Amino acid sequence: MDEEFYILNYIQTELRTDLLDKLMPVISFLGKAGLIWIIIAAVSLIFKRSRPLGRSLAFDLVFNLIASSGIIKPIVSRARPCVLDKTVELLVNVPFDASFPSGHTLFAFGAATIIFIYNKWLGIAAYIFGFLMAFSRMYLYVHFPTDVAFGAVFGIVFAVVAYKLEGMLFDRSKPLFALKRHQKN
């Protein structure tokens, strides 16, 4: 944990600027409760062409909520860095739940993975936003680096499962986790 505090304190002493002090809380706010991803899923569900994306995002959001807030956070019950070190001036309120994993990061990387599957260029933009979200959580001193790292990994894994589930439920010919087969002509 000392190494993680070293990274967080480095961010505070070497990377903190007035501009980032204004920007990082905004980026973090957009990820609160998966807000931006819920909006994208809802809008995607309106249009027939983007409904598979919307359904996959919706499944992913539900998986992330259940796994993160309902299972992992209560089991691990890791204190946040801002609770353990109260000397850092916070730019946001102290979150009420446990630190591990970063829910903001989990939602961001899960959504970015789903979007990437459907549209590579938009997916790359979503991954960039996901990295900014992860960094914002460390910048704001509310998550350890391993919180965001595992949030990213869990987000990607849950997204793949959500995508496969959407395919299985809405195209009964595809079994869950099936490999694509080349058709012979």
pLDDT tens-place string over residues 99-131: 999 999 999 999 999 999 999 999 999 999 999
Residues 6+ apart with CB under 8 A from 123: 112, 113, 115, 116, 117
d(CA 101, CA 20): 23
For residue 183, name the pLDDT band (cuts at 50, 70, 90): low
For residue 175, name the pLDDT band (cuts at 50, 70, 90): very low
Q: How many CB atoms lie within 10 A of CB 84?
A: 12
Q: What is the pLDDT of residue 80?
A: 92
Q: What is the pLDDT of residue 177?
A: 43
What class has domain 2-170?
A: mainly alpha
Query: Helices (H), strands (E): how many in the chain?
Result: 9, 0
pLDDT tens-place string over residues 16-57: 999 999 999 999 998 887 889 999 999 999 998 889 999 999
Q: What is the pLDDT of residue 181?
A: 46
pLDDT tens-place string over residues 141-161: 999 999 999 999 999 999 999
Average the pLDDT over 60-67 and give the result.
91
**Is the model's pLDDT at 95 over the cut of 80?**
yes
Domain boundaries of the chain, sorted by first residue: 2-170
Q: How many CB atoms lie within 10 A of CB 101?
A: 27
